[in-house]
Structure 1
């Protein structure tokens, strides 16, 4: 169990979230869902799962604007408008995006291995949130193994062990298999949120929509 709140002995709502740390809508969607969970006083447990937006990205990463223009063929004006939309959506749920001309896109395979390791200590949720902030709010270089080890240490995990995990790639196989599992379930974009292993909701839906979904699920459970 990675992140949960439980008030009663009834079965908590299982929530699986397939996401990537460099996906802005993943952090916005999670925060919208978290608000809805709070407002509906839902018992829940969240399980995070890996997805790579850019598995073929070189390890050094790439300038975000260049990347978006290449991948989606968007103009600078479209890229700017998209950043404004994301920033406003982040503000609404208390998350700060600081985009600038140097903001980079990263290969996240190492990150997912570090998250897998953190999960074994019951800290995947905390590390995930720290990585979202490191990337989007503070613009840290999450392609750098030393920086990743620093972030792990900042939430109280062992820095030297974190670095060793990244250096020897001991969880590479397991992470690849988990990614493949979710792709085989038909997940091609993130965030993908699965409720009770049955109901798939894609994208950042907004607090109101998540609230409605949670109420429907509660009614079904009754």
Structure 2
């Protein structure tokens, strides 16, 4: 695709959870679309918890998904293989294991809100994706989260204070409730230019198409 799009920056709000594999895929596809079109986007990540009531110790991921979605072990294996291959095609390593756990992500979202204020939200989000899916780390563990913020270029001591004080907790809850009221029930969900909602990982070609339409003011409601 040639670079024929206008030069203005398109705002993209991404509703996502750090333990959502399709959020990784969707973001990577969006990144490819931006490269293809030569366009730029102002990104803002918004909180969504796939499992807000998840216990502190979490659950074995495969068992959790089989129970939640009623899938068989064979279907789980197929889904993991599909995601692993798709991730590899996008330059991301999904390293699923039988011991991998689904965990609570409320604290991670608090740090992501704080990171937005520091201008490093996308960097932290990508590191958390890698920590969970590629390295198998527990992203509900405060020490894992603080190490991730440090890697993103954020102050580790301030990150610890953010978690201990929970000063972003109320705002995260408000944002989650807001998106639920807007009808967002699954992620990723991307809002382009504050107007056009695209649900699910749609592929680089479709993202490129909507980016150019938004930039040209030609998206139909």
TM-score, scaled relative to structure 2: 0.93
Report whether the alignment pairs 1:143 with 2:140.
yes
Aligned-residue offset at 1:211: 1.8
Aligned-residue offset at 1:217: 2.3
Distance 2:80 2:192 in 1: 29
Distance 1:146 1:218 in 2: 41
Report whether the alignment pairs 1:97 with 2:94.
yes
Aligned-residue offset at 1:219: 3.4
Gaps of 5+ in 2: none
Question: What corresponds to 2:64 in structure 1?
Answer: 67
SS at match of 1:14: strand
Distance 1:154 1:147 in 2: 11
Aligned-residue offset at 1:221: 5.7
- Equivalent residue in structure 2 for 1:203, among 200, 204, 207: 200
- RMSD over aligned CA atoms reads 1.7
- Equivalent residue in structure 2 for 1:77, among 71, 74, 77: 74
Question: What corresponds to 1:3 in structure 2?
Answer: none
Question: What corresponds to 2:214 in structure 1?
Answer: 217
Distance 1:15 1:147 in 2: 28
Aligned-residue offset at 1:158: 1.3
Per-residue CA deviation, residues 33-54 of structure 1 (Å, 9 max, x unaligned), is: 1100111011321111110000
Report whether the alignment pairs 1:28 with 2:12.
no
SS at match of 1:57: coil
- Where do residues 114-125 of structure 1 align in structure 2 (5 Å cutoff)? 114-125=111-122
Report whether the alignment pairs 1:50 with 2:38.
no
SS at match of 2:71: coil
Misfit runs of 4+, over 3 Å? none
Question: What corresponds to 1:13 in structure 2?
Answer: 10
Question: What corresponds to 1:176 in structure 2?
Answer: 173
Gaps of 5+ in 1: 1-6
